Amino acid sequence: MRDVAIIGIGNTKFGELWDVSFRDLVLEAGLSAVSDAGIDGKDIDALYGGNMSAGRFIDQEHIGAIIADYAGLSGMHIPAVRVEAACASGGLALRQGIMAVASGWHDIVMAAGVEKMTDVESGEQTDILIAAADREWEGMAGATFPSIYAMIARLHMDRYKTTREQMAMVSVKNHHNATMNSKAQYQMEVTVESVINSTPVSDPLTLFDCSPITDGAAAVVLAPAKIAKKYCDCPIYVKASTQASDTIALHNRRDITTLDATVFAAKKAYEISGLTPKDIDLAEVHDCFTIAEICAIEDLGFVPKGEGGPATESGMTALDGELPVNPSGGLKACGHPVGATGIKQAVEVVLHLRGEAGKRQVKDAEIGLTHNVGGSGATAIVHLLSR
Amino acid sequence: MRDVAIIGIGNTKFGELWDVSFRDLVLEAGLSAVSDAGIDGKDIDALYGGNMSAGRFIDQEHIGAIIADYAGLSGMHIPAVRVEAACASGGLALRQGIMAVASGWHDIVMAAGVEKMTDVESGEQTDILIAAADREWEGMAGATFPSIYAMIARLHMDRYKTTREQMAMVSVKNHHNATMNSKAQYQMEVTVESVINSTPVSDPLTLFDCSPITDGAAAVVLAPAKIAKKYCDCPIYVKASTQASDTIALHNRRDITTLDATVFAAKKAYEISGLTPKDIDLAEVHDCFTIAEICAIEDLGFVPKGEGGPATESGMTALDGELPVNPSGGLKACGHPVGATGIKQAVEVVLHLRGEAGKRQVKDAEIGLTHNVGGSGATAIVHLLSR
> Which residue in B has a C-alpha nearest to residue A267's C-alpha?
B77
As assigned by CATH, the class of the B128-210+237-386 domain is alpha beta
Burial B374-383 (b: 16+ CB within 10 A, else e): bbbbbbbbbb
* pLDDT of A123 higher than 90: no
CA distance A255 to chain B (A): 13
Mean pLDDT of B38-52: 97
Residues A257, A295 contacting (CB under 8 angstroms): yes
3-state DSSP call for residue B341? helix
Helix B63-70 crosses helix B22-37 at what angle (to 10 degrees)?
Answer: 60
Q: Three-state DSSP class for B330? A: helix
Handedness of CA A265, A268, A269, A270 (dihedral sign): positive
Determine what percent of chain B is predicted with pLDDT higher than 70. 100
Pair A376, A152: CB distance under 8 Å: yes
By the 8 A CB rule, do A13 and A20 touch?
no
pLDDT reading at A327 higher than 90? yes
| pLDDT, tens digit, 9 for 90 and up, residues A125-145 | 999 999 999 999 999 999 999
Q: Which CATH number fits domain A143-210+237-386: 3.40.47.10, 3.40.30.10, 3.30.60.50, 3.40.50.2020?
A: 3.40.47.10
pLDDT digits (tens, 9 = 90+) for B344-374: 999 999 999 999 999 999 999 999 999 999 9
Query: With 90 as the cut, is the pLDDT of residue A122 above it?
Result: no
Confidence tier at B214 by pLDDT (50, 70, 90) = very high
pLDDT on residue B123: 85
**Equal CATH topology for A4-121+214-236 and A143-210+237-386:** yes
Is residue A1's pLDDT more than 90? no
- Assign 3-class secondary structure to chain A: CCCEEEEEEEECCCECCCCCCHHHHHHHHHHHHHHHHCCCHHHCCEEEEECCCHHHHCCCCCHHHHHHHHCCCHHHCCCEEEEEECECHHHHHHHHHHHHHHCCCCCCEEEEEEECCCCCCHHHHHHHHHHHCCHHHHHCCCCCHHHHHHHHHHHHHHHHCCCHHHHHHHHHHHHHHHCCCCCCCCCCCCCHHHHHCCCEEECCEEHHHECCCCEEEEEEEEEEHHHHHHHCCCCEEEEEEEEEECCCCHHHCCCCCCCHHHHHHHHHHHHHHCCCHHHCCEEECCCCEHHHHHHHHHHCCCCCCCCHHHHHHHCCCCCCCCCCECCCCHHHHHCCCCCCHHHHHHHHHHHHHHCCCHHHCCCCCCEEEEEEEECCCCEEEEEEEEC
Across chain B, mean pLDDT equals 97
Residues of A with active-site annotation: 87, 336
pLDDT value of position B122: 81
Residues 298-357 of B with CB under 8 A from A: none
Question: Of A116-130, A348-362, B295-309, where does mean pLDDT reach its minimum?
Answer: A116-130
| C-alpha to C-alpha distances, B158 to B55, B151, B297, B363, nearest whole angstrom | 39, 11, 18, 36
Q: Cα dist. A306→A169, A263, A312, B263 in Å? A: 16, 14, 11, 57
**Residue B165 exposed, middle or buried by CB count within 10 Å (0-12, 13-18, 19+):** middle
The pLDDT of residue B254: 94
pLDDT at A19: 96
Q: Strand pairing partners for A244?
A: A380
CB of B252 within 8 Å of any CB in chain A? yes
User: In a 3-state reduction of DSSP, which class is residue B247?
Assistant: coil
Kindly tell me the sign of the dihedral angle through the C-alpha atoms of A195, A198, A202, A208: negative
| Percentage of the residues of chain B whose pLDDT score is greater than 90 | 98
Contact B217, B340 (CB under 8 A): yes
Q: Does A99 touch chain B (CB under 8 A)?
A: yes
Q: What is the pLDDT of residue B348?
A: 98
Nearest to B60 among A61, A64, A135 (CB): A135
d(CA B112, CA B51): 9
Q: Give the list of residues 6+ apart from residue A114 with CB closer than 8 angstroms, or none.
A: A22, A25, A26, A29, A49, A50, A51, A54, A63, A67, A216, A217, A218, A337, A339, A340
Mutate to test the interface with A, among B22, B61, B63 (most CBs of A within 10 A): B61
Report the complex ipTM: 0.97
- What ranges do the domains of chain B cover? 4-121+214-236, 128-210+237-386
DSSP readout, B119-188? TS-HHHHHHHHHTTS-TTTTGGGT--HHHHHHHHHHHHHHHH---HHHHHHHHHHHHHHHTT-TT-S---
Cβ-contact B219, B112 below 8 angstroms: yes
Omega prior to A204 cis, within 30 of 0: yes
Across B209-301, the runs of DSSP E, i.e. the strands, are 216-224, 236-245, 282-284
B245: left (phi over 0), alpha (psi -120 to 50) or beta: beta
Contact A299, A371 (CB under 8 A): no
Amino acid at A46: A
CA A221 to chain centre: 17
Q: For position B118, what pLDDT does the model report?
A: 97
> In whole numbers, what is the pLDDT of chain A averaged over residues?
97
Closest of B316, B341, B360 to residue B219, by C-alpha: B341
Is residue A337 very low, low, confident or very high in pLDDT (cuts 50, 70, 90)? Answer: very high
| Residue A45 to residue A295: CA distance in whole angstroms | 38
Mean pLDDT confidence for A329-338: 98
- Over the stretch A259-304, which tens digit does the pLDDT of each residue have? 999 999 999 999 999 999 999 999 999 999 999 999 999 999 999 9
Q: What are the chain A neighbours of B73 within 8 Å (beta carbons)?
A: 245
How far apart CA A189 and CA B43 sit, in angstroms, is: 50
pLDDT of B74 above 90: no
Our separate counts of H helices and E strands in chain B read 14, 11
**For chain A, percent of residues with pLDDT exceeding 70:** 100
The CATH homologous superfamily of the domain defined by A4-121+214-236: Thiolase/Chalcone synthase (3.40.47.10)
Q: Does A138 touch chain B (CB under 8 A)?
A: no
Provide the shortest C-alpha distance from residue A100 to chain B (in Å): 7
CA distance to A133, A263, A379, B35, B171, per residue, from B81 (Å): 15, 18, 9, 22, 35
Confirm or reject contact between A59 and chain B (CB < 8 A): yes
The per-residue pLDDT for B1 is 82
Whether the bond between B204 and the residue before it is cis, its omega within 30 degrees of 0, is yes
Q: Chain B within 8 Å of A134 (Cβ-Cβ)?
A: yes
pLDDT at residue B27 is higher than 90:
yes
Condensed to tens digits (0 to 9), the pLDDT of residues A40-66 reads 999 999 999 999 999 999 999 999 999
State the pLDDT at residue B240: 98
Rounded Cα distance between A32 and A36, Å, is: 6
Nearest CA in chain B to A21: B136
| B53: nearest CA partner in chain A | A55
One-letter identity of residue B338: V
- Strand, helix or coil at B36? helix
Q: What is the pLDDT of residues A192-246, one digit of tens each?
A: 999 999 999 999 999 999 999 999 999 999 999 999 999 989 999 999 999 999 9
Q: Residue A251 pLDDT > 90, yes or no? A: yes
The answer to whether B377 and B134 have CB atoms below 8 angstroms apart is no
List, for residues B95-151, the tens digit of each pLDDT value: 999 999 999 999 999 999 999 999 998 889 999 999 999 999 999 999 999 999 999
The answer, yes or no, to whether residue B173 has pLDDT greater than 90, is yes
B83 contacts in A (CB within 8 Å)?
A: 81-84
